[in-house]
Copies of this chain bind each other. A is one copy, B any other.
Amino acid sequence: MDDLAAIFKALSEPNRIRILKMLEIRPLCVCEITAVLDLAVSTVSKHLSILKACGLIYDVCENKWVIYHLNRRPGSKYVREISQLLKNWLADSEIVAADRRKVNRVDRNMLCRK
């Protein structure tokens, strides 16, 4: 019950939904997500930790980046079934479409090498 409520809570924040919809395009590092959402890095990191804590996403260290992936084989049946619904939703959302265009333009090598 509390597990389930925690999953719903994770999904109750529009910025976190945007992150999940972005990750459907491709795995992303923190700085790429930050660039798309236009929030402070620490804020994005916190959102990611919440999504990760309930199993919606997972992360992999790669070179100097932490790459976040959509979890396509979740252990929890709640996560599995809700993720499946979410994948089919918001295809017509203008915000999601705009985020995805930005995802295609953004490149961690450009963003982070100063």
Indicate if A11 sits at the interface (CB-CB under 8 A): yes
| Residues in B neighbouring A6, C-beta threshold 8 A | 12
Indicate if A26 sits at the interface (CB-CB under 8 A): no
- A1-29 contact mask (Cβ, 8 Å, vs B): 1 or 0: 11011101101111001100000000000
Indicate if A85 sits at the interface (CB-CB under 8 A): yes
A contact residues, total (Cβ < 8 Å):
23
A1 to B13, CA, bound (A): 10
- A64-92 contact mask (Cβ, 8 Å, vs B): 1 or 0: 00000000000001100110010001100
| Contact A4 B89, beta carbon cutoff 8 Å | yes
Indicate if A39 sits at the interface (CB-CB under 8 A): no
Indicate if A96 sits at the interface (CB-CB under 8 A): yes
What's the least CB distance linking A79 to chain B, in Å?
11
What's the least CB distance linking A21 to chain B, in Å?
9
